[in-house]
């Protein structure tokens, strides 16, 4: 990472929901504080939005896309909320995760060639070429697999706990 700034980190933290749309999330503020502290130690510029409605989330994400990020190493968006496979809960209704709503555009990524030499005990492959995308650095983390409840501790969610320790 060679840019002047680490980048921005946006956290959408949901503790409660409109008209009991979903059950409250006690303890999420601890996760949010720990995640904020961890990201600030990594030199991210962190902004936290609490209990935002769907439209307000869309508005903030639109602002983020219109910002010049050319000086940033990377950017991060975290959503601390309830959800299920293919949808997250905003304060007032379901929303699609960003990874599903993002468009890849019309242009093809030309990628670049990487020479790889593999030497194993039983098998040798020399000078094998692979093509990888130029913009290959995307990481999406889910706290659990579909259909499984996330494990929690009394202090915070395990996924945030392990991220802090990394």
- pTM of the complete model: 0.72
pLDDT-derived band at 21 (thresholds 50, 70, 90) equals: confident
The CA distance from 54 to 36, in Å, is 22
144 contacts 162 by C-beta, under 8 angstroms: no
- CB neighbours of 34 closer than 8 A, spacing ≥ 6? 156, 160, 161, 164
Residue 103 in any domain: the answer is yes
Residue-wise pLDDT tens digits, 27-56:
889 889 999 999 999 999 999 999 999 999
Range of the domain at 14: 8-107+135-163
How much is the pLDDT for 101? 38
Does the structure show a pLDDT above 60 at 123? no
H helices present in 2-133, as ranges: 28-41, 54-65, 98-101
In total, how many domains does the chain have?
1
Residue 121 in any domain: the answer is no
Does the structure show a pLDDT above 90 at 153? no
- φ and ψ at 94, to 5 degrees? -70, 155
Residue 128 in any domain: the answer is no
pLDDT-derived band at 14 (thresholds 50, 70, 90) equals: very high
How much is the pLDDT for 85? 73
Residue 145 in any domain: the answer is yes
Does the structure show a pLDDT above 80 at 58? yes
76 contacts 44 by C-beta, under 8 angstroms: yes
Q: Which amino acids are annotated catalytic? A: 82, 103
Does the structure show a pLDDT above 60 at 1? yes
Residue 144 in any domain: the answer is yes
The CA distance from 66 to 62, in Å, is 6
Residue 16 in any domain: the answer is yes
Residue 114 in any domain: the answer is no
How much is the pLDDT for 11? 95
Residue 30 in any domain: the answer is yes
């Amino acid at each position: 990472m060679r840019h002047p700034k680490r980048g921005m980190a946006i956290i959408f933290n949901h503790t409660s929901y409109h008209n009991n749309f979903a059950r409250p999330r006690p303890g999420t503020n601890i996760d949010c504080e720990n995640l904020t502290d961890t990201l600030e130690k990594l030199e991210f510029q962190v902004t936290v939005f609490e209990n935002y409605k769907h439209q307000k989330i869309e508005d903030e994400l639109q602002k983020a896309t219109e910002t010049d990020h050319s000086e940033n190493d990377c950017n991060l968006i975290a959503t601390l909320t309830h959800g299920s496979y293919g949808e997250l809960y905003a304060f007032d209704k379901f929303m699609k995760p960003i990874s599903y709503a993002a468009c890849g555009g019309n242009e093809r990524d030309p990628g670049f060639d990487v020479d790889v030499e593999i030497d194993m005990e039983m098998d040798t492959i020399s000078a094998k070429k692979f093509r990888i995308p130029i913009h290959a650095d995307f990481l999406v983390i889910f706290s659990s697999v579909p259909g499984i409840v996330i494990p929690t501790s009394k202090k915070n969610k395990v996924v945030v706990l392990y991220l802090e320790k990394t």
